[in-house]
Amino acid sequence: MLYYWEPALMVEENPRVSILGVYAGNGLPAVVVSEKGSGRVALVGSHPEIEENDVRDGSIWGQGLDDHGSDWSLLERLVAWVDW
């Protein structure tokens, strides 16, 4: 995930809201999910990025960046949860 210091998600305490991820630098919510009426909502404050040097997307740029894991499994799970 790419993060340029915004946006942090401001969450009021609510039993229907779950914080799934926080920013390491400030501890503020980065990934939030909730049920709303008969639907579901997922908010991601950071920017999911393609994988550097991954054969799946053919990207070779950004070799100086660290890619400690894939964003794809998180996004796949969020979409599956929202589209239940």
Got the DSSP string for 14-35?
-TTEEEEEE-TTT--EEEEEEE
CA separation (Å) from 77 to 56, 62, 63, 66, 74?
19, 26, 27, 23, 5
Model confidence pTM above 0.85:
no
**49 vs 26, which has greater pLDDT?**
26
Per residue in 17-36, pLDDT (tens digit) is: 999 888 888 888 989 999 88
Domain boundaries, given as residue ranges, for the chain: 17-82
